[in-house]
Structures are given as structure tokens and as C-alpha cells.
Amino acid sequence: MIDKNAVIYIAGHKGMVGSAIWRTLTSKGYTNLIGATSKELDLRDQNAVRDFIQKEKPDVIIDAAAKVGGILANNDFPYQFLMENMQIQNNLINEAHNLDVGKFIFLGSSCIYPKLAPQPLKEEYLLTASLEKTNEWYALAKITGVKLCEAIRKQFGKDFVSLMPTNLYGTHDNFDLSSSHVLPAMIRKFHEAKDSNNAPVILWGSGTPMREFLFVDDMAEAVVFALENELPEHLYNIGTGEDLTIKDLATTIQKIVGHTGEIIWDDSKPDGTPRKLMDVSKMHNIGWKHNVNLEQGIQKTYNWFLENIESLKQNSY
């Protein structure tokens, strides 16, 4: 077990994933967590990252920092999604290695796997075929992070591990329709339509692709599991091992929100990858499994959305 007084730096601690990790570690008695906002530390600046790690001397770094977004954002800003994500992770990984940080946990995404890989997605499918074009820029950046951690582990024997979550959602999610992912975007759309006399809701694509969703607090528990154990391999999928169609997701959210209007599918818009289901047997075999089912997680997320709707509006949600 890692010491509860160990200095743990959570990069991206204000984001949905980072804040969930911070809450979970605090609830488990970890007392020496550190973080820095993007205004306090620009993770794209190598010298600033080096100075910060030298000053704070963390025992562990958890990299939950990234430039993220949905299909639209990835399509409109390919250079930023590739370059800025590489800068963030490369600076953190390199300085963690150079300054002898004892443990590094790198968080990626299921989009690292090929578009048409066999289902469910196994860790060994990485780099076996072409990526999905709509998010390849982000995926390429995350693949380089995985391979950097693998290389450090192989060459220097350090405890650097990569966790690849499926689609995450939860409290503190991004509900801005120009940059959000499918689940929080649907929550906002159905809520606004309900408030507009149950107006019709237009959703992108055909609704036939299948997706898997993991509540962010379960992701945080997986990170704690990786923190408290020395995992035998360098790469692990994190998910539920269960998926559903986007249409089924929409009707589930519609029911929870209480919208009774029509759903219109705009099939002129892209669907993305036909299916992305994670094989999570490796994590199950060493002792981690998710706890929150999809309906429970969506209800928790919608409750948080309602509690914070005024501040979200002020921040152009």
C-alpha cells in the first residue's frame, strides 16, 4: 500500500476526471494531494512543468490533463488536438522520468484502438489497423503517451502504467454543445426541450452505433486501484464491458430527464465508429470492477446538472 501521506500530483485536477480522482483519494484518507490550474501551470510549457515537479517533488503523478472534445471539436481543431495533447503528456512523462518520480499513471481513451477492430476491444489490438478519422488526432496523441510509458517501463523498469477508459461521463461534465461528448450533450438537449414545451430533439447520426459508458467515479476507483497496486502490465482497459445503441441511450436519458417530445435523427451527420466495447477482463482478473450502472450514473449526472445549471449558464454551458 502506498503511504497516505505520499505527495500525489493530479494533473488536470479541476476537470471531470481529475476532480473525481481528487474526491476519491480524499475520501480514502490521502492527505497530500497537489494540483495546479491551467493559469497557474501551463502544461504545454516544458520548463514550467520541470520547475513545478522539481519544487513539489511528487511521489506519484496522475495525468488526467488533456485537451478533449467530441467529433465536432476534433474535426475543427485537428492541429491543437494533436500538438497540445502531445505537449501536455510528453512534458509530464519526461519530467517524471528525469526527476525520478516513483509512479506515473497515464489516462488515455478507448479511441486509441482501430476503427474496425474486433469487439470487444483488447489491449493487444493497439496499432493493428487504421483509426477512426473523426478523432484520430486525439487518438494519435494518446497512443504516443501509452508507448512512452511502455518504453520507460521496458528500458528503465519504472512503474509507469496506462489506463484506457471507455466513454466517461458524470458530475462536473462538459455540457457545452460545441465541445461536449454525446451523453452530456443529450442531457442538455432533452432538458432544454422539456423546458420548451417538450419540443422535438434533433440528434446526430442514425442512432445505430453502440457505445459503452463509465461513470467517472468508477474511473477514479480504477486509478486508486492502480495507485495502490503494482500492475503487472503497462496497459489496461477501464470500462463496464457492457454497451448499448445510441438510440437506447437517448431514450434512457429522455426518460430520466422527463422529456416527452419527439426524437429526430439527422442521419446526414457522421456516426463515428460503429461499435466500441472494451474488453475489461484484465482489470477484472486482477481485482477491479465498476460499481455504478448506467441509469444510476445518468440520474446522478442529471441531478448535478440541475444543481449547477445557473453557474453552467454563466460559463456558456
Tens of pLDDT, residues 162-173: 999 999 999 999
How far is C-alpha 17 from the chain's CA centre? 6
pLDDT in tens, 90-129: 999 999 999 999 999 999 999 899 988 999 999 999 999 9
**CA 132 to CA 111: how far, in whole Å?**
8
pLDDT > 70? residue 316: no
Beta strands in 82-180 (DSSP E): 103-107, 159-165, 167-169
Pairwise CA distance, residues 181 & 242, whole Å:
19
| Predicted pLDDT of residue 270 | 82
Question: How much of the chain is helix, strand and coil, in % rounded to 5?
Answer: 45, 15, 40
pLDDT (0 to 100) of residue 217:
98
Q: Which domains does the chain have, with CATH numbers?
A: 8-314 (3.40.50.720)
pLDDT at 243: 97
Residues annotated in the binding site for NADP(+), as ranges?
12-18, 107-110, 142, 165-168, 181
Residues in the chain: 317
Tell me if residue 236 is catalytic: no
Contact 203, 263 (CB under 8 A): yes
DSSP sequence for 207-229: S--EE-EEEHHHHHHHHHHHHHS
The model's pLDDT over 151-199, given as tens digits with 9 standing for 90+, comes to 999 999 999 999 999 999 999 998 988 778 899 999 999 999 999 999 9
Q: Which grid cell is 262?
A: 419527439
How far apart are alpha carbons 58 and 194 in whole angstroms? 47
Nearest to 85 by CA among 113, 123, 112: 112
Average pLDDT over every residue of 64-71: 82
Contact 44/91 with Cβ under 8 angstroms? yes
What is the identity of the amino acid at 160?
A: F
Residues 77/112, Cβ–Cβ less than 8 Å = no
Can you name the residues that pair with 169 across neighbouring β-strands?
215
Q: Is the dihedral of CA 11, 14, 15, 17 positive or negative?
A: positive
Q: Return the pLDDT at 298.
A: 98
Residues belonging to the binding site are: 12-18, 107-110, 142, 165-168, 181, 189, 204, 211, 271
> Could you say which of 9, 30, 138, 236 is catalytic?
138
Q: Tell me, what's the pLDDT at 180?
A: 80
pLDDT (tens digit per residue) in 35-63: 999 999 999 999 999 999 999 999 999 99
Tens of pLDDT along 244-286? 999 999 999 999 999 999 999 999 998 877 888 999 999 999 9
- Distance, CA of 284 to CA of 289 (rounded, Å): 6
d(CA 250, CA 183): 8
How many helices, marked H, and strands, marked E, lie in the chain? 11, 13
- Cβ–Cβ < 8 Å for 213, 294: yes
Integer angstrom CA distances of residue 226 from 60, 223, 263: 11, 5, 41
Q: Which residues are annotated as part of the binding site for substrate?
A: 189, 204, 211, 271
State residue 315's pLDDT score.
65
Residues 6+ apart with CB under 8 A from 54: 99
